[in-house]
Structures are given as C-alpha cells and as structure tokens.
Amino acid sequence: MNRQALDDLKQQIPLMGYLQAHDWHPARRLSRGRWMGLCPLHADHKPSFLVDPYKDLFYCYGCGRGGDVIRFAELYHQVKFSQALVLLHQWRGAQPLLQEVTRFYRFQLHRYSEAITYLYQRGVRSLELIEHMRIGYAPGGCLRGWLTQLGHSLPALRQAGLVTGVGYDAYVRRIVFPLEGNLYGRSLSDAAPPHRFLPGTKGGLYSWDQVRRYPEVILVEGLFDYAGLWQAGFQNVTCSLGAHLNVSQFRQLCDGPRTVYLTFDADGNGSGQQAAQYLSRSLRERGITARLVSLPQGHDPNSFFVAGGDAQEFHHLLQEASR
Ligand SMILES: [Zn+2]
C-alpha cells in the first residue's frame, strides 16, 4: 500500500470516530479542541489519554504510546501493521453495509410468524426489547437480491460473509442481532449449526457503553441470556458471545473498579462453569471483584427466566454468588 492509499484510509476513518466506536469516551476538554479520557490501551484510573481530532493523533501520558488511527488499531487489537490495515479496511467497508442489512432484517422480523414464535419460546416478548437489541430475522433467499439492487457488488457481499461462495444468503432462517462490526445469527432449525457470525472479530462486550458506568455488572454468555435479564429489569447486563472472552472484552471488564457477576451456563459437562472460574481468577489478578453465580443445574440465564424464574429470584442468586 503506497503513501497516498494510507493517507486516504486515515482520512476516511477519523481517529475520534474510530475511538468512540470502540467505546472510548472523552472525559475533559482541553485547549485547541483536544480531549482527554481514560486510556483504552492500559488499565487507566485517571484520564491520561490525549486525542487531537484535528491532527488525528493520540498520546497516552500513562503508557507512553501514541500515533495515528493505524497505530491505535495495532495496539488495541494487538496485531501487526499489515493486519491493522486489513482490520481498518474491513471496518470502513462493513459499516454502511451492515446498517443496511440490519434495517432489512428488522423489517423481515414482523413478516415471519416462525420468527416471532421462536422469540416467544425463548422468552423475548416485549417490543421494547426487540427495539433495544435491534433484533431481526433472516429468512434466507432475499438479502442478496435486495443489496445488489441497492448497488452493492456481489464480490463485496461475499467478502463481507453475507453471501456464500456459490451465491446464496449466508444467514438462512436465523434470528439476527447486530453487533459492533458483526452480525450474530441464531438458527431456528436444529439441522444447521446454532451460532453464526460474519468472518472477523466478534467485537467487544455487548452494549458495553451503556453498562460500563454501573459499579456492578452481570456477564452472560449468550444474547438470549442478555435478553432474559434485560427484560426482567436488569440493565447492568452485558454479554461476551461465548464463554471465552477476547482480549478487548477482557480489557473492557478491567477498565475500572467494579464487581462482575459471572453468570455462565450450568451445563451438564461443566464447561461454562470452568470458563467462569478461569475468568474469575484472571479478573482478580487485575484487581476486579468477580463473583460466580450458580444457576439451577441444567439452566442458563435464558432458560431460568423462560422456566418462570423472576427478577426477585435472580436477585437472590446474585446475593448468594460465591466470591
Ligand atoms: Zn495508556
């Protein structure tokens, strides 16, 4: 990639926008339009991360690192320069397309009774929750046509993972949830793999910018778990989309003092509980209070509520959570 192409890429991805899309919040305004905030690259307790939106540069007085948006992507995602370029390209390309896809699938949701029935079975019953999570439905066999009509090229759709190599919609009969830079799809049919993501990272913790201000947060594995808790009135819930956290998710949990209630599945083989124990040790090493919530055997937070559990009973489980 030549100098010009690098400059173009940087111009198309302003540092400030990229930082905010990765949950960075400016805390204090300085002279000449510059901002200070907590450093997303190290465990920062008082704002030491300086951003100059006009020069498109950052510098951290805590960890001494600084540079442009490419340097930030390298450090944040812990990748080499060339890989950071690939991530930034994907990020730039995916944003408008994913918004389009989200809009389309949200519209489909109310046209397919099978989708609404499935949501109902999984305890998703409030319209407010469907709006909050921007839940949609991918029936299959119609996204490609719609997007090409809008002018998106087939190779671009293939590269984004929305269309398969042979040209079919990649998401078929799936409830879909938009994520930051990705799309999670839960299959309605037992014949297909239950979980599907677009290629690339699953991103940070779900809805973290709304959750990070709580001194106590509840961490669950799946989006339907999240939905159950949110619907029961717990707004301090976030989701890691699997029992194993990626580097950015772990860093988010450690970005300030808090208590984390790990509420993973109580599955028969114990894998959820093992992952929770490992995570609680890692969190404690970073000075974060971790508590393990025990659900009744065989339950996950979603099935707990579907089976009739209520907010009061869940509160009780939180109180009983072991240290
Ligand atoms: Zn720093």
**Looking at the whole model, is its pTM more than 0.95?**
no
| Ligand 1 geometric centre to CA of 58 (Å) | 10
* 25: Cα separation from own chain's centroid: 17
Domain extents in the chain: 3-78, 93-196, 208-320
User: For 150-159, what is the mean pLDDT?
Assistant: 88
Distance in angstroms (rounded) separating the CA atoms of residues 107 and 138? 10
In 199-288, the DSSP E strands lie at 216-220, 237-239, 259-263
* 141: Cα separation from own chain's centroid: 26
Q: Which is higher by pLDDT, 202 or 253? A: 253
Superfamily covering domain 3-78: Zinc finger, CHC2-typedomain (3.90.580.10)
In this predicted structure, the answer to whether residue 63 has a pLDDT above a threshold of 90 is: yes
State which H helix or E strand residue 35 sits in.
strand 35-37
| Ligand 1 geometric centre to CA of 7 (Å) | 25
| Ligand 1 geometric centre to CA of 60 (Å) | 5
| Ligand 1 geometric centre to CA of 285 (Å) | 19
Number of H helices, E strands in the chain: 14, 13
In this predicted structure, the answer to whether residue 69 has a pLDDT above a threshold of 80 is: yes
In this predicted structure, the answer to whether residue 148 has a pLDDT above a threshold of 90 is: yes
| Ligand 1 geometric centre to CA of 39 (Å) | 5
State which H helix or E strand residue 188 sits in.
none
For the chain, what is the mean pLDDT? Answer: 92
| Ligand 1 geometric centre to CA of 208 (Å) | 20
Spell out the CATH class of 208-320.
alpha beta
Contact 139, 172 (CB under 8 A): yes
In this predicted structure, the answer to whether residue 15 has a pLDDT above a threshold of 80 is: yes
SS3 content of the chain, % helix, strand, coil (to 5): 45, 15, 40
pLDDT of residue 210: 86
pLDDT in tens, 72-85: 999 998 889 999 99
Residue 34: both structure tokens together: 């510059």
pLDDT in tens, 172-186: 999 999 998 889 999
| Ligand 1 geometric centre to CA of 183 (Å) | 30
| Ligand 1 geometric centre to CA of 126 (Å) | 41
| Ligand 1 geometric centre to CA of 11 (Å) | 24
Q: Which residues surround ligand 1, an ion (CB under 5 A)?
A: 39, 41-42, 60, 62-63
| Ligand 1 geometric centre to CA of 133 (Å) | 32
Question: Does the domain spanning 93-196 belong to CATH 3.90.980.10?
Answer: yes
pLDDT of residue 44: 86
Q: Which is higher by pLDDT, 243 or 96? A: 243
Q: Which is higher by pLDDT, 78 or 215? A: 215
In this predicted structure, the answer to whether residue 87 has a pLDDT above a threshold of 90 is: no
pLDDT in tens, 258-271: 999 999 988 777 88
pLDDT of residue 181: 80
| Ligand 1 geometric centre to CA of 32 (Å) | 21
pLDDT bucket at 36, cuts 50 / 70 / 90: very high
| Ligand 1 geometric centre to CA of 84 (Å) | 19
